[in-house]
Structure 1
């Protein structure tokens, strides 16, 4: 949509354009969701991979244990049964996971469409940095999801799925519990990785500066360790496996905030 046409559009024209965009988004999500639904084996092979003892993360830890001669790092063989206790739960889970998969696959197109809708209302300089911020936010969110898939969820599942208060209590994890935990942690880790973007906007409106973040480095590190310990209660190694990238995000936020403030001051002088 060009700027001239945008300026001549009424409120109802904008509403009609938004309706078309929502329809296109729903269509794309629906197509990818259907494709995910019919490819059930591939979809759930990916989803259930972290619950098997031959998952790439567990194998990597065993290789690390062999190299470092620290046998406790290797999770070893384990087995956790997944069960379904409701008549319709497997079909509902299948539909829900397919929908989420369609949403994730279509997310670049969703962002493109929504940004295209608001883009004409932005100034030229705002369009440039908004595009960069959106791309960065998108990539960071997926990095968080990948970290959860390959580190946070497997280690948490292995610990909690095999933990027993007594040998008389056998662990059988429900399908809905597995999926909901996987989804919740994926969203949580994706949100955590948006810290630099949040810091950027807070710096833009003057709420924080790099001096504040540097001053509270030690406090931030303690908070990060506590959060990592809560999310991954397995052992010290898995806690630091999560805490290190989170702290790196904090340091990245300092750099981003510092750059945002300098840019803001430069524009003010000009």
Structure 2
């Protein structure tokens, strides 16, 4: 029969486990407070320039509008809260290394040495690639799509005036889509490194990945072929890059895993 006894408060082992659990919760709370405080500090530092930040954020659309075109506000508080939301987004991106550092400080004591050596480069490259995806969307996708839509509306006699809240929603979705897309090489490397999927298997499913890339692009981008290609083609290219880099990243040998250097600190 299985042992179904309840924890004994007098058992030193149970008491030690409870103290360890509580100490982890306290440390997690401290790390969360520090992470949020870092974001708030950056946000407060940027609040004064919120209108300037929003103008930079909206520049790709404004430059594509016909002469005299402008954005509109359909919500009473939209002109205040939308720039604040954009500023908060920028503050989060700036403070993200600090947030990741707090996460690292919390999980590092429970990691093996070889995992520590791997995770730090992966986190750094993930942050860099996410910023690259956001920059790709801002500097290439936005001008291309907005220019296409503005000229598409002209023959219809329709005036293109976008609400700033809807523009924020569209931009956030696009940033997130391209930011995640640029994480594909990291995902491929992690899958191969930890033995979840063999590299040869990832090569074999290449045709399915290509089809999936276009399906994902059709779902998360505006309903035009150009914007879908701008997401699907980089997604496939980044998958190929991940396959290429994964050749140089092998699984840790059993000898290394069994050695003392792979034990948690």
TM-score range, shorter chain: 0.7 to 0.9
Q: Which residue of 1 aligns with 2:114?
A: 125
What is the Cα deviation at residue 151 of structure 1? 1.1
Q: Does 1:111 align with 2:108?
A: no
- Among residues 240, 251, 263, which one is paired with 1:263 in the alignment? 251
Matched, 1:201 2:201: no
Instruction: Tell me the secondary structure at the aligned position of residue 71 of structure 2.
Output: strand
Change (3 A) 1:269 1:258: farther
- The answer to whether the Cα contact below 8 Å between 1:224 and 1:246 also exists between their aligned partners in 2 is yes
Equivalent position SS for 1:35: helix
How has the CA–CA distance of structure 1 residues 154 and 263 changed in structure 2, closer, same or farther, with 3 Å as cutoff? same
- Residue 159 of structure 1 and its aligned partner are, at CA, apart by 2.5
- CA distance in structure 1 between the partners assigned to 2:69 and 2:198 by the alignment: 47
The reply on whether 1:32 has 2:42 as its aligned counterpart is yes
Structure 1's 224 and 10: CA in aligned 2 closer, same or farther, altered over 3 A? closer
Segment drifting more, 217-226 vs 26-35: 217-226
Which of structures 1 and 2 has the bigger CA Rg?
2
Q: 1:211 aligns with which of 188, 191, 200?
A: 200
- Report deviation, 1:250: 1.1
> Which of 11, 31, 40 is the matching residue for 2:21?
11
- Structure-2 change in CA distance of 1:85 and 1:18 (3 Å): same
Alpha-carbon distance, 1:176 to partner:
0.5
Contact 1:84/1:175, CA 8 A, preserved across alignment:
yes
- The structure 1 residue matched to 2:33, chosen from 23, 36, 39, is 23
Q: Deviations over 1:232-270 (max 9, x none)?
A: 66665x66554443332111121233333x334xx0366
Is the CA contact (8 Å cut-off) linking 2:61 and 2:142 kept in structure 1?
A: no
Q: 1:130 to 1:269 in 2, by over 3 A?
A: same
C-alpha displacement at 1:33, in angstroms?
Answer: 1.1
Are residues 161 and 176 of structure 1, via their aligned partners in 2, closer, same or farther at CA, if it must alter by over 3 Å? Answer: farther
Q: Does 1:135 align with 2:124?
A: yes
Query: Which residue number corresponds to residue 169 of structure 1?
Result: 158
- How big is the alpha-carbon RMSD for the aligned residues of Structure 1 and Structure 2? 2.8
Matching residue of 1:66: none
Aligned-pair CA distance for 1:42: 2.8
Paired residues for 1:80-99 under 5 Å: 80-99=69-88
- Aligned 8 A contact 1:228 1:242 in 2: yes
**Structure 1: runs of 5 or more not aligned:** 1-6, 55-75
In structure 2, relative to structure 1, the CA distance for the partners of 1:32 and 1:84 (3 Å cut) is: same
Structure 2: gaps spanning 5 or more residues: 1-16, 257-265
Q: Distance in 2 between matches of 1:150 and 1:79?
A: 23
* Number of residue equivalences: 238
Q: Aligned residue for 2:8?
A: none
Contact 1:159 1:234 in 2 (8 A): no
Could you give the per-residue CA deviations for residues 134-160 of structure 1, whole angstroms, max 9, x where no partner exists? 111111111111111111122222323
Residue by residue, what CA displacement relative to the aligned partner does 1:76-135 show, whole Å, maximum 9, x if unpaired? Answer: 966642100111111121221121121111001000111111001111111111111111
Contact 1:210/1:255 (CA < 8 Å) preserved in 2? no
